[in-house]
Amino acid sequence: MHSVSRPLIIGNWKMNPGTKQSARRLFKDVQKGVARIRDVDVAVAPPDVFLSLFDKTKRPVLCAQNVHWEKLGPRMGEVSVVMFKDIGVKEIIVGHSDRRAAGETNEEVNKKIHTVLKEGLTAILCVGEQKRDTGARYFNFIEKQIHEACAGVAKTKMSQLVIAYEPIWAIGTGKNATPNDAHEMKIFIQKVLTHLYGRNVAMRVRILYGGSVNAKNAEALLTEGMVNGFLVGGASLRSEEFIEIIKIAHTHAR
């Protein structure tokens, strides 16, 4: 089992890059860059079609960007957790805001989490508000997302869950949450989890931040924001910058 104090940095490639040659190059660069950094967990989430190019590697760990909740069957265009598992995927992102924008509901996110955890993989649950209102209703929104996503998930499975706080207004906009906002949300998420599972379990769930993370803001988000790592989109496509973010996490690994 992971330790909560080990940072986790995930590169979310989304629908990039365009060829398997460039996917291989990006992956190799990351692999080389992290070879000597042992105290940070690193994962990348390439498009599904590239996953099997990277043959059950340990570092970086392979992550999928989405999954269907059923194992097999007539589901056009979907990929199941058993297929991912078979090619060496260890982690799966669930409930990313892109998927939610395409209609994914909390109920579906919940079904996906159950399937991923049941197969022994790690689920990276994304939560995040559309915008920040002055009445701070976004806290209720995040609480509801967590409650509904985790419905029926046993305490014993929580060590396989990671939560990524990704405010939608910060994704791909160049406007990251402040370290203070990230810290406040981390504490809030821990409170919600404590309510559901008790403090011991809650404090062992890694809480990542995502949304315009780059080599410039990573340090403050880790040290002042106190998050346990990042889900990095755009900057993960630039291997030097992604490795720089991992090195920053290494410097501050406790």
Measured distance CA(169)–CA(74) in Å, rounded: 36
> Which of 91, 96, 119, 241 is the catalytic position?
96
Nearer to ligand PGA, 101 or 154 (CB): 101
Residue 11 binds to ligand PGA (criterion: CB under 6 A) = no
Residue numbers 195-214 binding ligand PGA by CB under 6 A: 210-213
Residue 120 binds to ligand PGA (criterion: CB under 6 A) = no
Measured distance CA(146)–CA(141) in Å, rounded: 9
> Which of 91, 119, 129, 166 is the catalytic position?
166
- Cβ-based neighbours of 166, under 8 Å, separated by 6 or more: 96, 97, 126, 127, 128, 209, 210, 211, 231
CA-CA distances (angstroms) from residue 188 to 20, 109, 141, 185, 193? Answer: 41, 21, 12, 5, 9
Measured distance CA(80)–CA(218) in Å, rounded: 33
Whether the Cβ atoms of residue 130 and residue 169 lie closer than 8 Å to each other? yes
Nearer to ligand PGA, 201 or 237 (CB): 237
Query: Contact with ligand PGA (CB under 6 A): which of 8, 231, 245, 248?
Result: 231
Whether the Cβ atoms of residue 30 and residue 242 lie closer than 8 Å to each other? yes
- Cβ-based neighbours of 118, under 8 Å, separated by 6 or more: none
Nearer to ligand PGA, 92 or 202 (CB): 92
Shortest distance, position 97 Cβ to ligand PGA, whole Å: 7
Query: Contact with ligand PGA (CB under 6 A): which of 92, 142, 232, 249?
Result: 232
- Residue 17 burial (CB < 10 Å; 0-12/13-18/19+)? middle
Span interacting with ligand PGA, options 68-76, 140-148, 165-173, 179-187, rule CB under 6 A: 165-173
Beta bridge partners of 229: 8
Nearer to ligand PGA, 33 or 211 (CB): 211
CB atoms within 10 A of CB 178: 14
End-to-end CA distance of the chain: 17
Is 96 part of the annotated catalytic residue set? yes
Shortest distance, position 185 Cβ to ligand PGA, whole Å: 15
Shortest distance, position 172 Cβ to ligand PGA, whole Å: 4
Nearer to ligand PGA, 41 or 166 (CB): 166
Residue 167 binds to ligand PGA (criterion: CB under 6 A) = no
Is 147 part of the annotated catalytic residue set? no
Shortest distance, position 211 Cβ to ligand PGA, whole Å: 5
Shortest distance, position 13 Cβ to ligand PGA, whole Å: 10
The residues that touch ligand PGA, with contacts defined as CB under 6 A, are 12, 166, 171-172, 210-213, 231-235
